[in-house]
Amino acid sequence: MEFRTFPTMSYLLPTYANFPLTAVRGEGARLWDSEGKSYLDFCAGIATCSIGHCHPALAKAISDQASTLMHCSNLYQVPQQKELARVLVEDFTQIPGKVFFANSGAEANDGMIKTARRFGHAKPNGKGEPRYEVITFNSSFHGRTLGSMAATAQKKVHQGFDPMLPGFRYVPLNDLDAIKAAISDITAGIMLEPIQGEGGVNSATAEFLQGVAELCDEHDLLLMLDEIQCGLGRTGTLMGWQSIYPDLKPDTISWAKGLGGGFPIGAFYVSDRAIDEDETPLSSLMNAGSHGSTYGGNPLACTAALVVLAEIQSSNLCANANHQEKRIREEVTSWNHPAIDSIRGKGLLLGFALNTDNLEYPDGAMPAGHLCKTLMAEGLLTVPAGPETLRWLPPLNVTDDEVGEALRILKNTLDSLSIKMNTAH
Ligand code: PLP
């Protein structure tokens, strides 16, 4: 397609401070820009292109479905939606429950938050008042809608949008005492990313997840997981929490990003567990008329997601994520590099915590952003996670050679930006 050459940003709201790169083509972990320059893509749409760019099976399935039926409405039966829900519940979550399909992560989280409110109405407090408050964690990121933004415990996300939707309480991650102090007779749930992505690649500990589950049991609260960035193979297990504490039994889970491999789709799961002595399933609270989406779960999006999930399973991409993590950790650790303090995360959701005292970056610039920019010039796309963490999120089928090339580029770039290295030379 030819584009007329108006000034490119003129008609777009400037909500993204984006890089001057125009991507025109992708294949696997590789991306090409409009100048013909090739990049290794370790950003992958921020954990979205889970099976690589333009995977032939995904492209073909989308093309075939697009010429058969794209959309028909949830007023009718959608077999692709039923099958996708079955795969997510039986093969991936492996805990009985039901799924609702949306179009993005923020929407999926809104649905999950609505589920907590329904639960709080169904199980009111001792005074007969509905419970509605959800405890979330500092540095979390849950999205940009009014609900998911209020769930996000980051001031910079809220700035200028007050008043926030009421019903959220923020506490530090991995601090069970802070949760205990925050629980009150209006609390309905605890919502967290098992590994925070945007907030800096911060992992919950196994003890913490176990403690959260116990507090949810004790106080009759929903355990709500946002697996939008860390789920579906990204951390080397099918579910993100399984890479930390496999015994966890969440009540609700949200997915998006990697689920569609680049095709927009979001989803949330609600467990079938009984919430009372009458054996009322939690999932039954989201009954007819309680929620909806015009586009959510359309045949095209569900077909795409079915291919992605089949590929994650049949090509054992969890094993590849673990293999590549091990290799990356071993090699980066062996550098003992003055600009890297530690490596956080699991599988292919990895954060390199930068020692910014040993890194050169322009005054006023964000260190991780400057490093990303420099890596981009060298042909490696990455993404910051906060000001001092460099994040790698390559496709789950990234190869040994591609990881080797990315490691070479990272090492050379860090050497060139490292103060200690440069003064030692
Ligand atoms: N939750 C998490 C953990 C995310 O990382 C994101 C996006 O970065 C979202 C929710 C929001 O997803 P979306 O941008 O699809 O609305």
Average pLDDT on 137-158 reads: 98
Is the pLDDT at 425 greater than 50, yes or no? no
Average pLDDT on 139-164 reads: 98
Q: How far apart are CA 214 and CA 223, in angstroms?
A: 10
| CA 140 to centroid of ligand 1, rounded, Å | 10
16: its two tokens: 């993204």
CB distance 104 to ligand 1 below 6 Å: yes
174: its two tokens: 């991995």
| CA 139 to centroid of ligand 1, rounded, Å | 13
Strands of 383-384's sheet, edge to edge?
Answer: 340-346, 349-354, 389-392, 383-384
Instruction: From 106, 4, 52, 44, select the one nearest 399 (Cα to Cα).
Output: 52
User: Residue 163: is the preceding peptide bond cis (ω within 30°)?
Assistant: yes
359: its two tokens: 């890194």
| CA 389 to centroid of ligand 1, rounded, Å | 18
Atom of ligand 1 nearest to the CA of 256: 15
Q: What's the distance, CA 422 to chain centroid?
A: 37
Is the pLDDT at 422 greater than 70, yes or no? no
What residues contact 229, with CB distance under 8 A and at least 6 apart? 46, 47, 193, 195, 197, 198, 257, 349, 393
Q: What is the per-residue pLDDT across 55-66, written as a single tens digit (0 to 9) for each? A: 999 999 999 999
With a pLDDT cut of 70, the percent of the chain lying above it is 96
Q: What is the per-residue pLDDT across 154-191, written as a single tens digit (0 to 9) for each? A: 999 999 999 999 999 999 999 999 999 999 999 999 99
Q: What is the per-residue pLDDT across 187-240, written as a single tens digit (0 to 9) for each? A: 999 999 999 999 999 999 999 999 999 999 999 999 999 999 999 999 999 999
Name the residue with the closest Cα to ligand 1, atom 7.
143
Max CA-CA distance within the chain? 74
Q: What is the per-residue pLDDT across 289-344, written as a single tens digit (0 to 9) for each? A: 999 999 999 999 999 999 999 999 999 999 999 999 999 999 999 999 999 999 99
At residue 419, the pLDDT reads 83
Is the pLDDT at 153 greater than 80, yes or no? yes
Q: Parallel, antiparallel, or unpaired: how do β-strands 187-192 and 133-137 relate?
A: parallel
CB distance 197 to ligand 1 below 6 Å: yes
| CA 263 to centroid of ligand 1, rounded, Å | 14
Q: How far apart are CA 207 and CA 217, in angstroms?
A: 15
Q: How many residues does the chain have?
A: 425
CB distance 256 to ligand 1 below 6 Å: yes
Q: How far apart are CA 174 and CA 369, in angstroms?
A: 27
| CA 194 to centroid of ligand 1, rounded, Å | 13
Whole-model pTM?
0.96
CB distance 268 to ligand 1 below 6 Å: no
What residues contact 413, with CB distance under 8 A and at least 6 apart? 371, 374, 375, 378, 380
CB distance 194 to ligand 1 below 6 Å: no
Q: What is the per-residue pLDDT across 2-12, written as a single tens digit (0 to 9) for each? A: 655 555 557 98
| CA 125 to centroid of ligand 1, rounded, Å | 31
Name the residue with the closest Cα to ligand 1, atom 12.
105
| CA 75 to centroid of ligand 1, rounded, Å | 28
Whether residue 372 contacts residue 383, with contact meaning beta carbons closer than 8 Å, is answered with yes
State whether the Cα torsion 233-239-242-246 is positive or negative.
negative
Residue to mutate (ligand 1; options 257, 259, 393; most atoms within 8 A of CB): 257
